Chain A
Amino acid sequence: MNFTLLFSVFAVIALVSIIFSFSMSVYISVYDSDWYGLFSKNVTNQLEKEKIFLLGSSTVYSVNSTILNHHFITNEIEYEFFNLADMSDSPKKRLHSLSNIISNDPNIVIYGLDIGNFRIENQVPIPTEEIILHPQNFFLYQFDDFMEPIREKIPGSPKDRSLSTLKYFLFGPQPHHHPFINFYETQITPINELKENTLINDSYQVLDLSENSEEIISLKKIINELKKNNIKLIIFSAPKLVNDANENDIKLFEQTLKNYSEKYDIPIYFLHDEYMDLEIWRDSQHVAINNNTQIYTKDILEILLKEMK
């Protein structure tokens, strides 16, 4: 084997990795820190309406800001809605951009929490039959600690980031209401098909809602920071077709949210099992973006209208 040849290949891979991580960081500086994509400087100054930010992971990205903003305009409600859903978002991850959220001065923050945000790796050894039947899971588990930091560095969709950065440099900042996830129409998958094909395997993860949980600590910080800045916070549990948790975990999740709701005086709404019989799903975890799935957006609208009163 020619080592010069292999060395060239590894050198190319290393160079590509450096450029890749640099360009992904450029995206962060373009979009995440100053949020030019959300409010270009000029637009921010001209924006007179109150702002509503929706936070959460991909489980909330199908909330359609166009419908909500259309309602606000036609009913002369002086609010503008922005869906800031981001891939694999969790309170811990969201904490990094909290200063941006606050500095953009929203009036209301509505936060969709997902039970999956609070699940951590189960340190129990994998049973032998699991290793035999699913060797790929065994390897995944063995190298998880090594891979996790690498995975964290790779964004949900490098393509979206590359295109956004490219558009930014070519056309300048463009204001939009779904800055972090592309808002394309997605198709509805029949509910039976989804239920049949979704395997619930919760043996590798456990729910951690303890006071020491990093996600809980981050959630509390977010609540406190928003309160300190007089930003109204509304929490809801994000809808799912198939919850990757058992019934006890779901009850515990509900109870914990209720406790925080009472403790911090935050309105809370439960949507996690709200649409389980409706044909509105793209997959078992996500409502499709589609004209026929507006119920989710309308429920969010109702929550907002209720809380605005």
Chain B
Amino acid sequence: MLFNSLDFLVFFFVVMCIISFFKFRRFQHLFLIFSSLFFLYYTDNYLITLLIFTILLHFYVGREIFKSKNIFRKKIFFIIGIVGSIGILGFFKYTDFVITQFNFFGSYLDLGSEIPLLNLALPIGISFYTFQSMSYIIDIYRGSLQPSKTLKEYAVFVAFFPPLVAGPILRANEFLPQLREKISQNEISQKLKLFVITNQNLKFGITLMSIGFFKKMFFSDNIGPLVNNIFSNPIGLESFSIMIGTIAFGIQLYCDFSGYSDIAIGAAAILGFKIPLNFNKPFFASSPSDFWTRWHISLSTWVRDYLYYPLVFKNRNSNSLVFISLLISMLLMGIWHGASWNFLIWGGIHGLFLACYTILRKNFSSNSTKKFFKSKIGKITSILITQYLVFFTFIAFWMKDFTHMAYAMEKYVFLDFATEGTIQIIRDNELPILLIILFGILHFYSYKQGNIVEKISKMKIHYWAGILFVFFISIAMFYVGSAREFIYFQF
């Protein structure tokens, strides 16, 4: 069920009304599970069994890990849980990729046999809910989390529909306490939480959802054609055209994915759940590591906590260990996005940038450079350099064809200063170019203003309705004609 479809709006409205009118704790919790399963079943039909299997497996494994006094038994259950998650994800997402590589090298070495592809359907949201489930059992294994008390609670955590399909990836220690009544800041009661749709949450949620729809349907869907025009066949294009393509794609991807996250967080907020931000003005990041604290935060913190930290745990002072660990972490991040070499390259480049930056900062941070980077010019310079590098990586994210990728990257790095073709592209794509400029202005404004969602949702009702009107009318008048899938649905 696409968020940007009438189906979802009707579905969400019905869920919201039922939860609001039937104020029985058990019913509300069961209804939330049922509606979440229906949400996935609506699009994914029988593949919903994978989600149910994941829920049952990890609930059981989590309990067994927690109960086990014996380290060996603990480890066995932990391995079962991890293998279960990785097995499902690997089988459905990476089998054909592995077979393709095997066949390629097989024919290269003249082995003479070819394994047929399985052509498996990729279950929607699988990358998100398996990572969510893995974090649950890893935390229990580490002793930093108590397992969920009931299957019902755990099912709500994994299947909760707003972030189910494209994140943010939830953490059990942040989400599970929200299913119980709060006693104080750090304490929860044993009583199931009664979901009450409060005015504050409703206003905040609607604001955030509207911003999400605006980002997706006004910006992303209308900038998309420019990206396709440039990136589908970049051979022969000028450097500045490639740069326009990368900028357009970066903005399209951001508006698409952060738009989805905003709708998910907003929908969850209306139902009374607090989901952490997934994006925080990434185009104002001033270093590669800063960028990863602002872009797809739920995935980057997942990789940091469950892969990078364990890898560098033994010796954080070793440059080579830090370098390799960052590279491995980012390669995993790349391959998480999809079974394709271009995502590995994308992750690899980010890994190199991160590793080089981390090591340079550690070894060459004198007071004079610190002073410069704290000044306004220094900050602007570091933002520009970081963004130049970040946008460079978007070429690999989009292009699966290596010849195209190599050409575009070369043109991006070695400028040819030709402008004729670029001017023509700008003339042929007036609307996307105007939208890119408008996005830049709004992004800068929201960067300067701080938490703009909070500010809008605290406005008086007539001003607030006025802002909603601007969002809705822009969406309606610039609707491209059919609901476009979110880019991150494919992951």
Contact = CB atoms under 8 A, between A and B. Distances in A.
Interface of A: 1-2, 4-6, 8-9, 11-13, 15-17, 19-20, 23, 87, 132-136, 139, 155-159, 162-163, 184-185, 187
Contact of A5 (B222, B233, B461, B481): B461
Contacts of B232: 187
Contacts of A6: 202
A162 B202 contact: no
Nearest to B468: A12
Interface string B257-292: 000000000000000000000000000000000000
Interface stretch (B37-45, B70-78, B106-114, B411-419): B37-45
A264 to B, nearest CB: 35
A81 B481 CA distance: 27
22 contacts: A1-B20, A1-B197, A2-B199, A5-B461, A9-B465, A9-B468, A16-B469, A17-B476, A20-B473, A20-B477, A23-B477, A132-B45, A133-B46, A134-B45, A136-B1, A136-B42, A155-B481, A158-B478, A159-B477, A159-B480, A185-B229, A187-B228
Given A8-B465, A9-B206, A132-B45, A16 B7 contact: no
A234 to B, nearest CB: 29
Interface of B: 1, 7, 16, 20, 41-43, 45-46, 197, 199, 202-203, 206, 222, 225, 228-229, 232-233, 428, 431, 461-462, 464-465, 468-469, 472-473, 476-481
B45 A135 contact: yes
A136 B472 contact: no
Given A1-B20, A139-B7, A16 B229 contact: no
List 3 tightest A-B contacts by C-beta distance, closest first.
A157-B481, A2-B199, A162-B477
Nearest to A189: B232
Given A135-B41, A136-B42, A159 B481 contact: yes
Contact of A158 (B228, B233, B479): B479
Contacts of B197: 1
B477 A12 contact: no
A184 B480 contact: no
Contacts of A155: 481
Contact of A157 (B228, B473, B480): B480
A35 B7 CA distance: 36
A11 B476 contact: no
A19 B41 contact: no
B198 to A, nearest CB: 8
A19 B473 contact: yes
Contact of A156 (B7, B45, B222, B481): B481
Contact of B42 (A135, A156, A159): A135
B45 A20 contact: no
Nearest to B225: A184
Nearest to B481: A157
Contacts of B228: 187
Nearest to A184: B225
B79 to A, nearest CB: 35
A12 B469 contact: yes
A200 B367 CA distance: 68
Contacts of A135: 41-42, 45
A130 B43 CA distance: 13
Given A8-B464, A135-B41, A16 B472 contact: yes
A79 B20 CA distance: 66
Contacts of B477: 20, 23, 158-159, 162
A163 B479 contact: no
A145 to B, nearest CB: 15
Contacts of B468: 8-9, 12
B476 A136 contact: no
A132 B473 CA distance: 37
Nearest to B473: A16
A135 B46 CA distance: 11
Contacts of A19: 473, 476
A83 B481 CA distance: 21
A30 to B, nearest CB: 15
B7 to A, nearest CB: 7
A163 B473 contact: no
B188 to A, nearest CB: 24
A159 B464 CA distance: 25
B107 to A, nearest CB: 19
B262 to A, nearest CB: 17
Contact of A133 (B45, B233, B465): B45
A15 B20 contact: no
Contacts of A17: 476
Given A157-B481, A163-B431, A187-B228, A16 B199 contact: no
A16 B476 contact: yes
B479 A159 contact: yes
A283 B233 CA distance: 17
Contacts of A16: 469, 472-473, 476
Nearest to A8: B465
Contacts of B41: 135
Given A1-B197, A139-B7, A159-B477, A12 B465 contact: yes
A2 B472 CA distance: 21
Contacts of B229: 184-185
A85 to B, nearest CB: 15
Given A5-B203, A11-B465, A187-B232, A20 B476 contact: yes
A89 to B, nearest CB: 14
Contacts of A15: 469
Nearest to B428: A184
